[in-house]
Amino acid sequence: MTDIVLNEIKRALRRGDRVELRSDLGIFYTKVQRARISRNPRTGEKVNTPSKRTINFKMSKEMFKKINNEE
C-alpha cells in the first residue's frame, strides 16, 4: 500500500504537479534550481552546476503545532 502511494507521488512530481496530503501533513512540490557556477569545497575549483528540479516539502500549520507541542 505504501509503495503505491509513494509511486503516485513520484509520478505527480515528475509531471510538475503539486501533491497535497490532506491528513494535516503538508505539501510536496518541485522547484527548478537554476544553473550556476559552484565551488568544489575540497579543491576550490569552480564547477558548472546544471539546472535541475528539486523536491520541496512544506508542512501544514497543524503538523507544525504538533511537532512543537503547541496544541
Domains of the chain and any CATH numbers = 2-59 (4.10.520.10)
Q: For 11-56, what is each residue's pLDDT tens digit?
A: 999 998 989 887 788 899 999 999 999 999 999 999 999 999 999 9
Calpha distance 61→69 (Å, rounded): 12
Beta-bridge partner residues of 39 = 46
Can you give the pLDDT at residue 33?
94
Residue type, 56: N
What letter represents residue 18's amino acid?
R
Q: pLDDT band at 71, cuts 50/70/90?
A: low
Higher-confidence residue of 38 and 70: namely 38
Q: What is the pTM of this model?
A: 0.64
H helix intervals, the chain: 2-15, 61-67
